[in-house]
Structure 1
Amino acid sequence: MSDAELLARATAWAPAEKEAHGEAFNLTNGDVIRWRHMFEAIAKHCGLEIEEPQPVTLTEQMPLFAELWDEIVKKYGLRQTSWLTLVDWNFGDAILVATSDNVSSTIKVRQAGFDGCYDTIDRTLELLDDLGEAHIIPKLKG
């Protein structure tokens, strides 16, 4: 996982850092996660129970919920945001069906002097709460 804010910080860091000139770096949050753990953390954060995973194709299933999304937007007074623009379901399908882990070493960027990192689960929960505060999605708690 790579947080956009972390990427922005690295983008601002690189031009001023001699060790970064002419170099290409992998940049991720710095941890390794499993989707199961992410979904468990989100469920706990929202006070929900979690079930065993079920195989679904997001590109097929999620358009079926566009009308429900419109009802949620109205019920919670959310900003009018098209269901089709919230998430790229094709990307979700590609990520969630991966049969191997994608682990990228960030050693090179750290050795060059960039020390930014995030706990992906904590950051995801923070960003979901931010989306709730911005009235993009319903608030997840309290």
Structure 2
Amino acid sequence: MTALTPNLIDSHSDLVRAVREGIPIQAPQDMRFLVAIAPDGSSAHVEGSHEALVVRMSQDSESGGWSSTTTPAPSAVIHFPPFSLLLADRQLVGSFPHVDCTDWLELGVDDPANVSVALPVVDLPKTPSAPVPIAMLQFTEARA
């Protein structure tokens, strides 16, 4: 995930080093690590857009005027069965039906841990023609 995310090594070098080396680290305040289950047959999607912005345009049906809003794009996404993993700005946590597992970064690879978590099952909507950036899609909950 960290290798697929442009600029993450520059802005969060401690996080990248910790993930690569499997050592525990204090979770960064601005980034969240989100996890869910991707069902078998789910289309794979890998993307990294660290420090990118998503611009959403909308048109008022009455006045015809346009407005826009911006939000951070997810920094890294690996949606590939059996897991859907996201590294995202903390303000995006409510946008995806994933569990916030950021505290797991405080565990080393060799550290024993007593972890109990219920992960939701999520899938990406199918796009009929061209791939769509993950930041413009909404995850949908799949059957458990």
TM value normalised by structure 1: 0.22
The structure with more radius of gyration: 1
Between Structure 1 and Structure 2, which shows a larger proportion of strand residues?
Answer: 2
> Structure 1 or 2: larger helix share?
1
- Higher relative contact order (Cα pairs below 8 Å, separated by 6+ residues): 1
